[in-house]
Amino acid sequence: MTILTAESTLTSRYQTTIPDAVRKVLGLGKQDRLLYRVTEAGEVRLAKAGAQDAEDPALAPFLALFDKRLATRPDQIFPYTDADAEQDIALVKGVKAG
- d(C-alpha 79, C-alpha 85), whole Å: 11
More confident residue, 25 or 56: 25
Amino acid type, 62: F
Cβ 75 vs Cβ 85: under 8 Å: no
Cβ 37 vs Cβ 44: under 8 Å: yes
- d(C-alpha 29, C-alpha 32), whole Å: 6
* pLDDT tier, 31 (very low <50, low <70, confident <90, very high otherwise): very high
Residue positions counted in the chain: 98
Q: Worst-scoring range by mean pLDDT, 31-35, 51-55, 68-72, 80-84?
A: 51-55
| Alpha helix segments (H runs only) across the chain | 20-26, 59-72, 82-92
Which sequence spans correspond to the domains of the chain? 20-53, 59-92
SS3 38: strand
Q: Average pLDDT in the 72-88 region?
A: 91
